[in-house]
Amino acid sequence: MIAEVIVDIASSEVDKIFEYVADETVCPGARVKVPFGRTYAAGFVMSVKEKSEYPQDKLKKIAFVYDEPPAINEESLFLCNAIARRYRCPKALVLRLFLPAEMRTGKVSERFLRFATFVKEVETGRAKKQAACLAYLKEKGKCEAKELEEAFGASALKGLSEKGAVLVQREKTVRSPYASLPEKAEAHVLTPEQERALSSIGKSDRTVQLLHGVTGSGKTEIYLSAIAKVLKEGKSAIFLVPEISLTPQMLAQLRARFSSAVAILHSGLSAGERFDEWWRLRNGEAKIAVGARSAIFAPLEHLGMIVIDEEHDSSYSSEAAPRYRTFDIALMRAKYNGCKLILGSATPSIETYLKAEEGEFNLISLKKRINQHPMPEITIADMREEVKHGNPSPFSSALQEELEKCLKEKKQAILFLNRRGYSQTVICQECGYVAECEACDVPLTYHSEENCLKCHYCGARYKMLSACPNCGGVRIRYGGTGTQRVVSELKKKYPSARILRMDNDTTSGKEGHYRILKEFSERKADILVGTQMIAKGHDFPAVTLVGILDADMSLHFSDYRSGERTFQLVTQVSGRSGRAEEVGKVVLQTYSPKNYILRYAIGYDYKGFFEYEKRLRKATSFPPFSKIVRVMVTGEDEGEVVEALKEVYFPIKQLVDENPEEILFFNKMKAPIKRIQNKFRYQILMRLKGDALIPRIYDACQTKRRNVLVYVEENPNNLS
């Protein structure tokens, strides 16, 4: 038999597929070791066939076949081929999505631990430590050798082992990242509304189920019950959440409910832990994969359900090749397995809700919070009035009043501002000079704690200016407020309040967010100040006040989705208030208090918002009534970038000219941010009526240039 083997998936930019002679047992998806040049390489069998076009004696033999079962199963191979075709992307690159990092390199480590087992009593003479060690082990029967060595010394254990009293053996173990989580928890008794939702999912003949429920309506409980049902049928499930929602609370809940049937894949795990969790899924030991976007590639068989929680979240789109949307992959898998795909959100994307309204998805609505708990009341603070009345602080008088009450009653508050650092811009008041990054065409942000300027695009740091490099002036102004400034103003105003800050600067490291969220939930702080990281999924029962400091930030962003983002953000952040017994309050600060989006948001009127936004998008032909496609061309040498741009522009222009009925907008230009990390950025921007031309646009963008990157984005999250 002949096997087509793809090699060098870790680093190659193009597919290297070679034929090898294989015996009958080799099947597609198997991981193999093959002779490659003068050495050996790890590879994956993509397919097998009877005959080669080359003379068989010219072909080399597969040297070694790794693990049983094959690392890549049939469904994964199918998906891999489909994704490579859809996004015109090398299979090697796509395969990486399906494998844990440790396996991509071909070097595999499984963890072995040494265990000591009690065999028999022996004479230990005057060796007191040996006697103590043996007595201890006799009691326990078996334990990790390391534990004994630490307690009684390595020589004691060695001595006992030599006398045959103890057997020390290496055993394969699975690294369990969540050993400390609770063992068991009972499910809630579902409310009638939850029961109705669950049975609607069961009865529906649609593949996609949209669970539209206000924050705190008990969606999580519905997902878990649906998953429990699927497990009973002997099937498996995938449960996706935004990375930021994978809180210890959430993990504990899952572990308690499904114990070791759940495998958790998230970025906080070590490579080894991820590897073990992955294999537990692959060999069927674990039946539920929980994780962020990439868990959609979990190697589960007999899928019975896929859940995408907070489906509107932008983290579900990949921003590296292949630039897939998680929903698209989930739909492929749901169809392949004949199972259902549940999308859940309090604020579904316009695109999703439209499909539900049109009947393509089954729509299930949960309109009330659990126990009829009221939604928090949202008050608008008009910041124009505040300025008029001489209040220069970032806090309106309404917010100050509520904050004081909240502190006095020993409750907790969350203040939300989607801008980190101290100030947004640093401007010379003499000449108008704005400090910018040398590698990116963007203004720098002042960070007071380190007293430096930082670029939020490439992370570069610069010394704070003592004088303007342009005119020598010394009157430097800090424009705009960031989270650091909010904290320093709060400290001045409420010196005894305990304040925590959560943003990209405070959450570095593996446990970054967990630490802050834990401290806040243990009530070691009164006020949490944060960026959109704090908006999602967290359940803090003592929070009774939420302040949205600048609701206009995302509103005036030049993106067709800015209204949608603002509505989502206001709803999500407000949803953090008053989740337990107390009724929550929200103060929303804005300079445009009459804005429609904000009006719908404070009334919790998703339908009103949806109808308004739908009409607007339809009238202006924006998605979901069209498709935005951006071809991005970037590289360090501007001349070469422009050359590459021309190369892709001409075939696309021809396509456009031949299909005028498909085109709503077409232009080539510099990207809004002209340079990031020293790479120049040019783009071809298109708005298309539908998907008809998309495959050919991908074709046109295949470039052989090595120093220029050309890629296609469909409805990108970010058009900067």
CB nearer to Zn ion: give 5 or 440: 440
Compute the distance between CA of residue 442 and CA of residue 301 in angstroms, rounded to an integer: 47
Is residue 377 at the binding interface for ligand ADP, with CB under 6 A as the rule?
no
H-type alpha helices, 91-181:
91-98, 101-104, 128-140, 145-152, 154-162
Backbone φ and ψ of 187, nearest 5°: -75, 150
**Which residue's CB is nearer to ligand ADP, number 268 or number 344?**
344
Paired tokens of 57:
């004696």
Site for Zn ion in 455-484 (CB under 5 A): 455, 457-458, 460
Binding Zn ion (rule: CB under 5 A), the pick from 1, 181, 370, 439 is: 439
**Angle between helix 154-162 and 145-152 (nearest 10):** 120
- Cβ contact 687:697 at 8 Å: no
Binding mask 172-191 for ligand ADP (x = CB under 6 A): ----------------xxxx
Among 76, 130, 217, 589, binds ligand ADP (CB under 6 A): 217
667 φ/ψ sector (left φ>0, alpha ψ -120 to 50, else beta): beta
Q: Should residue 367 be labelled a site residue for ligand ADP when binding is judged by CB under 6 A?
A: no
- Which residues partner with 412 through β-bridges? 543
Decide whether 579 or 679 has the Cβ nearer to Zn ion. Answer: 679
What tokens does 240 get?
């996706």
Of the pair 75, 309, the CB lying nearest ligand ADP is at: 309
Structure token digits, residue 328 = 């698209």
C-beta of 121 vs 438, nearer to Zn ion? 438
Q: Tell me which of ligand ADP, Zn ion, none is bound by residue 76, counting a contact when its beta carbon lies within the kind-specific cut-off of 5 to 8 angstroms.
A: none
44 touches 95 (CB < 8 A): yes
CB of 674 to Zn ion, least distance (A): 12
Q: For 2, how many CA atoms within 13 A lie in the half-sphere containing its CB?
A: 15
Nearer to ligand ADP, 217 or 595 (CB): 217
Place of tokens 């939930």: 521
In whole angstroms, give the CA distance from residue 713 to residue 383: 38
- For residue 710, the tally of other CB atoms under 10 A from its CB is 21
Of these partners, ligand ADP, Zn ion, none, which one is at the site of residue 439 (CB under 5 to 8 Å by kind)? Zn ion
Assigned token pair, 163: 């006398």
Of the two residues 257 and 355, which places its CB atom closer to ligand ADP in the complex? 257
Residue 218 found at the interface with ligand ADP (CB under 6 A): yes
For residue 460, the minimal CB distance to Zn ion (Å) is 5
Tokens of 514: 């967990």
C-alpha neighbours within 13 Å on the C-beta side of residue 320: 6
For residue 420, the minimal CB distance to Zn ion (Å) is: 15
In whole angstroms, the minimum distance from the beta carbon of 194 to ligand ADP comes to 6
Closest-CA residue to 315 (of 326, 307, 328): 326
CA 205 from chain centre, in angstroms, equals 30
Among 124, 194, 337, 347, interactor with ligand ADP by CB under 6 A: 194
Contact region with ligand ADP (CB under 6 A), list: 215-223, 435-443, 553-561, 681-689: 215-223
370 binds, among ligand ADP, Zn ion, none (CB under 5 to 8 A by kind): ligand ADP
Give whichever of 211 and 468 is closer to ligand ADP, judged by the CB atom: 211
| Residue 144 touches which member of Zn ion, ligand ADP, none, C-beta under 5-8 Å by kind | none
Task: Tell me: does residue 215 bind ligand ADP (CB under 6 A).
Answer: yes
Q: Which two tokens stand for residue 657?
A: 């000219």
Using CB under 5 A, list all residues that contact Zn ion.
Answer: 437, 439-440, 455, 457-458, 460
Using CB under 6 A, list all residues that contact ligand ADP.
Answer: 188-191, 194, 213, 215-221, 370, 539
